[in-house]
Amino acid sequence: MASVGGFAGAVNPKPIAEGLSGAIGAALDEVNNQLYFVDYNTGELNRLGLTPTCLDLDTVTKCTIHSVASGFSHPENVVLDVGAGIAYVTTRDPPGSGGLYRVDLGTGSKTLVTFNLGDRNFIFRSIERTTHTEPESSTRFAV
C-alpha cells in the first residue's frame, strides 16, 4: 500500500492518502492548503486537499485525491505558480527525451512548453522580488 504524508520524525507516521502507485514530485500550495503531486505510473497530476480532518492524527479519515490533468508519459516533477493558477510538470516522454508542460490548475488543460530535456529532469522555481516586503515581481523556472 503506497501512501503520501506522515510527519517527519514521528514514531508512527499517519498516511494521509492511499492507493497510489507511483506518487513522486510534490509541490505544496500553502495559500490554498493543497498538495500537488505527479504519479509516474498513471501519468496524472493530482491534488490533495489538506483539510484538518485528514491531517488529524486521531482520525482514520484520508485526504481526497483529485485528478487535475492526465495523459502525461512518466511525469516526474511539478512546481506551482499559485498566483497565476499554473503548474509546470516535467516528464520522460518517451523515456529519455523529457518534456516540460504548463497546466492550467482551473481547467486541467496542458500545453507542451519544450521537449528533449533528457533523462533525470528537475524543475526549480526562482522568485525575484525588489524588496522582501513586495509581492513577486517575476518568476523564473529552471529545468
Residue, of 86 and 54, whose pLDDT is higher: 86
- Tens of pLDDT, residue by residue over 100-111, are 999 999 999 999
Of 16-25, 100-109, 115-124, the poorest mean pLDDT is in 115-124
* pTM beyond 0.85, yes or no: no
CB < 8 Å & 24+ apart, contacts of 133-136:
136/83
pLDDT tens track for 123-141? 655 544 444 444 444 444 4
Residue 48 is which amino acid? L
